[in-house]
């Protein structure tokens, strides 16, 4: 493989990753705009879609699982700063990642993070709306598409790291005759 081919493949991989991240961000923004605009979910109690799924407007002032709730403007800025730093780290990792599955996982995390950062900057909170439930029991907190993308992205990265045969020390050792 020539150096030109390697550079083209790296550029294609990066473009795909950043493109997927932007697609996730755009879909997240579109869904939220639809739910807050024409559907007016923020002015309703809930919209039952299926017996186990409803659309329910929720303002999330925290991060994952409602942790680290921002109760002041200063705390909100700290959350924006920390999540932006994490997103920049993911974007940098995406720039150098070679494995396709990891590129997909990183792109999902980045796109979801950008969607939630946008909400926090513009609204002061993250807009959550997806409510899975069985009767009154809710196995998940109310979440959004960006949260789902982040979750799936992290699961892909974890699965790749746990199941990868590319770990150091897993390559067969060369015998002395092979080294000569």
Q: Which of 85, 103, 108, 82 is nearest to 93 (CA)?
A: 103
DSSP conformational letter for 172: P
Identify whether 128 is a catalytic site residue.
Answer: yes
Please state, as a whole number, how many other Cβ atoms lie within 10 Å of the Cβ of residue 20: 20
Strand partners, 134: 137
> How many CA atoms are closer than 13 Å to the CA of 43, on its beta-carbon side?
5
The residue annotated as part of the active site, out of 28, 102, 128, 131, is 128
**How do beta strands 47-50 and 126-132 pair?**
unpaired
Residue 63, token pair as written in the block: 């991060």
Active site residue 119: no
Residue 143 main-chain phi, psi, to 5 deg: -140, -175
> What is residue 67's three-state secondary structure?
coil
Catalytic residue selected from 28, 102, 131, 147: 147
Half-sphere exposure of 145 (CA within 13 A, CB side): 17
Residues annotated catalytic, as ranges: 128, 147
């Amino acid at each position: 493989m020539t150096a030109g081919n390697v550079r083209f493949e790296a550029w294609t991989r990066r473009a795909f990753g950043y493109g997927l991240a932007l697609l996730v961000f755009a879909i997240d923004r579109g869904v939220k705009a639809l739910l807050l605009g024409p559907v007016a979910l923020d002015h309703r109690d809930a919209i039952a879609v299926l017996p186990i799924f409803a659309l329910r407007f929720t303002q999330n002032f925290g991060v994952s699982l409602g942790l680290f709730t921002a109760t002041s403007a200063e705390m909100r800025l700290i959350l924006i700063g920390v999540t932006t730093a994490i997103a920049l780290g993911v974007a940098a990792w995406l720039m150098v990642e070679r494995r396709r599955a990891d590129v997909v996982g990183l792109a999902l995390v980045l796109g979801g993070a950008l969607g939630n950062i946008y909400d926090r900057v513009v609204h002061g909170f993250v807009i959550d709306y997806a409510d899975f439930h069985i009767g009154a029991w809710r196995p998940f907190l109310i979440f959004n598409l960006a949260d789902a993308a982040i979750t799936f992205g992290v699961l892909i990265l974890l699965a790749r790291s746990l199941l990868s045969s590319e770990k150091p020390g897993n390559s067969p050792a060369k015998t002395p005759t092979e080294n000569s």
